Every structure is written in C-alpha cells, then in structure tokens.
Structure 1
Amino acid sequence: MAIITNAPRGTQDVLPAQSGKWQYVEQKALDVAGLFGFREIRFPTFEHTELFHRSVGDTTDVVQKEMYTFQDKGGRSITLRPEGTAGTMRAILQNGLLNDVMPLKVSYVTSCFRYEKPQAGRLREFHQFGVEMVGSAAPAADAQTIAVAKTIFDSLGITGLELEINSIGCPECRANYHEALKAYFRSHYEELCETCRERLDKNPMRILDCKNPACAELAKDAPVVLDYICDDCKTHFEGLKKHLEAMGIAYQVNPTIVRGLDYYTRTVFEFVATGIGAQGTVCGGGRYDGLIELLGGQPTPSIGFAMGLERLLLVMEQCGCEFPPDQGCTIYLGSMGEAAALKASELCMRLRDEGFYAECDIVGRSVKAQMKYADKLHAKYSCILGDNELEAGKVRVKRMDSGETEEVSLEADAFIRFIYAGTLDELTDETDGILGSISKIKGE
C-alpha cells in the first residue's frame, strides 16, 4: 500500500531552502541563451504517444522501457514527455513558426518523465534546460549551439567538464555503417542481450548505447562510425572543429558517442563530468535534420541540446560553485496592540510596493517572540511599534548586525527613505527599479 506522505520513488521535493539555487541556475541558462538569440518556448507535459514513437524511435530504451504511457478518458494513448525536442518540434509545426525568419532559436526549462532505476543525478521525474535551433545546416550552427552550453557552464563557474564530439553521418552514408555493425554483431549474436538481438536488424547503432555489461564490452571492438561517413559529412565535421577552435572551445573526438535517440544525424556531442555516479553526461545533443520532415513538415535542418538540471546542480556542488545568498528580510516591524499592528501592516505594504522584503506579526506573538522571529528571518532591521511610538510619530529602528539604533519618522515616505538609505550600499546595476523609486519619493 502506498504511503501518501512519501513522494513516489524516483521523484523529489525542492524545498524553499533549495529553490533559490534552482531559480538561479534556470534563469542564468535562459539569460545566456538569450545572448545568442534563443527565446523561451513552453509546451504541454503530455503529448500523443505516436509523437515519441516517430521521433525518439521504437528501438530506443526510452520508447521500449521508460515512457509513462496511459489511456485518457477518451481512449487516446497519451505519454508524459520523456524529453523536450519532440514537443518543441510539434509546437513549431502546429503554430507555423517555420514561416518566421530563419534560423528559429528557442529555449526551454521543462520537467521530463522516464521510468528507470533512480540513481545520483537521474530521477524518474527530472528537469532539463534545452535549446533548439531550426533552419541552418551549416557547421557554424552546430558550433554556436555548443557554445551556448559552454557559456552557461562558464557563467555558473563550473570546471572539469570535457566536450566530446562525434559525427554519426547522414542516413545515406550511415547505411554502410549499419551493414558493418550487423556483420560484426551477428558474429557475436549469442553474447547479445535479448533486447539487442531485436535491435540488430532494425537499428544496430542502438546496441552501441546498450547498458548491458556484455553488450557494452562487445561494443568496444565494433566498427567505428567515422570510418564510414561520406565526404559531405566529413567536410561538415571538419567545419565544426574549425568553428570550435575559432571560438576557443576545447574538444575531444569520441567516435563511440551515438546518443540514445533515433532522430540524430551528423553531429552529436556531450559535456561529460566525473564523480557524480554512473551517469557522467551533464549535457548532450546533436543535429536532427530529418525530424521535422518525419513529423510531417518540410525538410528542415535542426540542432539542439538538453542539460539535466539535477546533474548540473550536483556538479556545481562538487566544483564549489557559489550561489547568490538568500535575501533575508529587510525589516521586521514588531507591534504591541491593535493600532500598532495596523500601522505595521501599512508600512510593510508600502515597503513591499518599493521592492523590499518586510514582515510584521500576524500570529499574535509576544514582543520577545517577535524579536526571536526577526532573528530567524535574518532581518537587517527591526523595530517595535506601540502606543507611545504612534503618539510620537517616531520609532527607534535597530540594525540587527551592530545593535545600533536610529529614531525614524513613522510617516511612510520618510520611513521608506530611511530603508533606502540603509540599503544603498547593496544596490547593483540590476536594481534600477529601486533607484527610480527613490527619485519618485524625492519628487525628482
């Protein structure tokens, strides 16, 4: 029997103490992508199951073993998204975005769902940041897409990641590679797992991605795809290398990378870290020039990547990356009596209107308990309003770190000016709104 107070296996809660880190990483990724011209897209949590069968591929582990698929009340087969690219391409087609100026660049932060064994950095409900670029077949597009990921990692202070690249060729030249793989694995047929025996004729490249130890060992001596790609694919791959070198992005060629989804063509790449368990890939992507046509659109070259946010946060912790500190309460306005409580509520609301985090008592605590609560909130300032303060129109405001106090008028604009003056040393270029409010209060 399920325990209703426990989250389902393979899921996790992000608590208030942790959510600031998530928000920081997500916003940083969106902001960096914006510097390259990518704009955010949002798409449904579930899609028609056929979308993933067509795009991800019937022979992949994702489709065969991991998708959360169910019948809705109308008898339709529905699947929770296992990845972001298919839903993005469906949204682009349905909404006519291919009629926009090319290349089309979109980014997203999304949750995904796969039924697999939970482990470090890999859950059944997990989160991804991804980008998709549609409309350019040039290797410069591949390099720019990779540069987005590299810039995100750099901006977060992540070190120790290695970029690995490969080309798996186009459908035409890959046919010869498939024949070579079939010949090799047929000679080891009895050593393959049951799933890979089924893959052998349908899509032998999936065997290279199998996690079964016996299959993985056989894959080490399998034919290498780079020996079979055509001249056009070789030229494209060399072009990618030149652009990466021009941008100062170090890379290693890893001919064993095939990625786990069927829609990839030509360029595939991964950013790999060590020390977070069995799953070391923090970001993976590649080119999928045939996907939009497969989904019913016109042939349109495309490339993208996705990075797992759970793994990204693990890597940041290992690297000792700094996160912005949680913004504590600016001021706690304690009170004694109903009239003082009303005044505290008024001042708090005015302060919040100006962008400050202000708190007052809403549970009926004693004055001593209110001051303890202000401490727990890490309030920068505190004060206690009572009948005497209301009559005088002034209150002594205490700076919590030093214990210094200053008498301040309870007139709202004057009180706000005091708080502004005390926080000016913390302002950055990102607080233009606050500076504008100061001018408004001063009547400038």
Structure 2
Amino acid sequence: MTVRATLAGPWSTDHSAALYRRAQQSITDGTSRATLLRKGHPIYVDHGEGAWVTDVDGNRYLDCNNNFASIIVGHADPAIGAAVQARMARGTAFSLPNDAEIELAELLCGRVESFDLIRFCNSGTEAVMGVLKAARAYTGRPNVIKVEGAYHGTYDHAEASQSPDPTNWGDAAAPATVRYAVGTPVSVEDEVGIISFNDAEGARTAIRRGGDRLAAVLLDVMPNRVGMPAIDPEFIAAIRETTREVGALFVLDEVISFRLGYGGAQTKLGIDPDLTSLAKIIGGGFPVGAIAGREGPMSMFTRVSGDRAKVPSSGTFAANPISMTAGHAAMAQLDREAFARLDKIGEEVRTGLRPIFDGAGLDWQVTGAGSLFRVHPHNRTIRNYRDSHLSSDEATEITEFGLRMQAHGVYFIAESLGCLNLATSDDDVDHFLAAAEASLPSP
C-alpha cells in the first residue's frame, strides 16, 4: 500500500496558522469549539466533497471525523444540496410549523419500534436535557444514573464523571460522581449516580439503591470516551429489568450510535428504551436534535386543556425547515444496503489495522462497530472507561499519531475516534491504512 499524494507539496499549514492568530483577537481561545484545538493551531477547512476535505493551504485529507460523526452520506452531497436549495428559496425559518418536520418525524418513527412520538430541538445536548427532564416529570423523581466516562453533551448532570482520573474516580464497584465544569453545583454529586460500563451487578445495585428517587438511567451503547468496547447483553438486560423493577425509565443516547444501523443501535441490539435522544446524522449536516420515545413519557411535552406542558419545550430554530429537509434527504438515502456498506468499510479499517500494528511490533488495538472505530496505544482488555483510560505517555503517543496521520493526508482527531461516511471508497480505505502504517511510532 502507498499513501496517495494529497498534500500541496511538503505539508504546510501556514495559512491555517495565520487564521488562528487572527481568530485569537476576537474569539475566546481562538475557536468556539474546544474540540477543534490541536497542537499549535487548528486546521482551517476550505471545502469538502464526498469523503474528503481540503484545507485553506490546499492540502486534502480523507475525513475520518465527519464533523464528529454527524456527516454520514458525504460532504456536499448532491441530493441534500438540491433539497436544501429548493427549500431555502422559500425561506429559512419561520414562527410557524412546516411540513418538512412532519416528513422527517414520520420517517424516523417508521424505522424504530420504540418511537411512538418524536419532538425536535437543535442539538444533542438539548436532546439529552429533554429526555432527562421528561423522565423527571414523568416519574416525579429527581435523580439519574449514567456511565463513568460517557459523554452526553454539556448539561451539568450529563457531564458528571465524563472525564475522571485515578485521583478522583473512587472505587470501581461504586464510582464517584465527579463534577466536570468549574462552577457546577455541588448538588450534582447527590443527583447523579455513576456506574461502570458493562458492570451488570453494579448497575443493578446502583439502580436499586436509587429506588424511589431514581428517574432514569442514561446509556450510550458505544461511548467513545469509554473506549468503544462491545457492550455486554447482560449489562443492557440489568438496566432494563431493574429500571422497571424500581419504576425508573431507561433512556438511550443515540446521538452517535444511531449511525450503527437502519433503526439505530437499539434495533440492532434488541433494546427497548423508554426515551431516546437523537442528533447528528438525522440533520443531514445541519444543526438538529430530537427526543423520541413511548407515548407515556413523551406526553410530558403535550399541553393539556390549553395549559402549558409539564415540560415546556421550544426553540427559535427547533424543527426549522432547512434542518428538517436536509435530515430527510440524508436519511432517505440510508437504506439497509447503505448501512451494509458502512459496516463493510468500517470492518475493513478495523481488520486492516490489526496486522499493521502487529507488523510494527506495537501492542495497539482497535475497537468499534459499523462505521465507527477507535485506536488505542495499548493492548489491555477494554470493558469500561478505566480500562481505556490513557496514561500521560499513551495520550502523547496517540496525539502524535493523529498529527502524523494529518501529514499523510488523513484527518484523524487526537482522541483517535474514527468515523467513515458513505462516500468512502475502497481506495480511500487503502489510503487510510497506508497512512496509518506510515504514521506509527517505532516500537
């Protein structure tokens, strides 16, 4: 395998560096998205097409991030572009509902058995806030449980223990609740319980301990920051059975995992959640979020006799016709054959990386499923966040690997999360594997 010529001569990002210096004069930290910062400066994009992006210096990169898993069909997709342009000619946002909202709602509810009803918002963070507020209103209870290390957006309660370390994470059998952002109310420590991914008995114990104060358990079946390990069916069963036992709700975060199959991860894994948060791919590249679920808990958003709903929910750009149109144009292309293709290229990357690591004498590994994958600079068995947590040396090693991948024409973020879109060709997969081989450190 050889790396395709994708860079504009020796790799240079001088124009990106200049833009970053300019941005620092008017934008806090130089960018509104902390996740874009890299060693030195971020790479500024000029345009994207299919599976590739081109930066302002003329360098082309195979995009293995796809705007943090939100782009699934491909950049500048013609069908999405045509649909959005036609809709934009009629206006972009109104204080009136539109039929595009109904069409996307019908498509999504028709795919997933647990989606009796759906309600749109603007982001995954809003969707997670919505499902937790609905769970509290429906049960009349204040507390929630989530998985250690799992990322669910920027809501205080959802951020709890998303990035603990050995100095504060406590006992593995009963992980501590660690506040994330400075200024988070201390009450979060009492209102959010933490369980370890794949610990079925720990989940049962925590849920029963929560008892009549527990509103919901929030779960992502393939959390990136936990390391993307395979989920144990017994862990899922423990959460489903014990939440029913104590009268709490099982809330699934499918903001990312909905890209794992035609009906999302829940259909693929046979999960029956009460509520689901959605975002990313259902917007076709535009801002979007959604709350979906069973009629009972979804009724918390319904007005009764003209009074306000138990959980009022609105937003200036919620269900705007552009996001709804783009989302429908994207999701309509994602039939079962499309997901089979995404599974195929994702598996080709995962199986292709393993002999490359072995051949280089490195004890590295790759996890994930479908079009998602994550590279780990160690060969520890990964079942939970603590197994995948990197030492400072390992974190440096994987960061340097990502930077070398960029120099070989692959955009691969420092956290080593990989994500492919449907426009990725077999030649693109070969390019990725060749770039990975050329980017590995010496053993």
TM-score, structure 1 length as denominator? 0.24
Higher strand share: 1
Rg larger in 1 or in 2? Answer: 1
TM-score, structure 2 length as denominator? 0.24
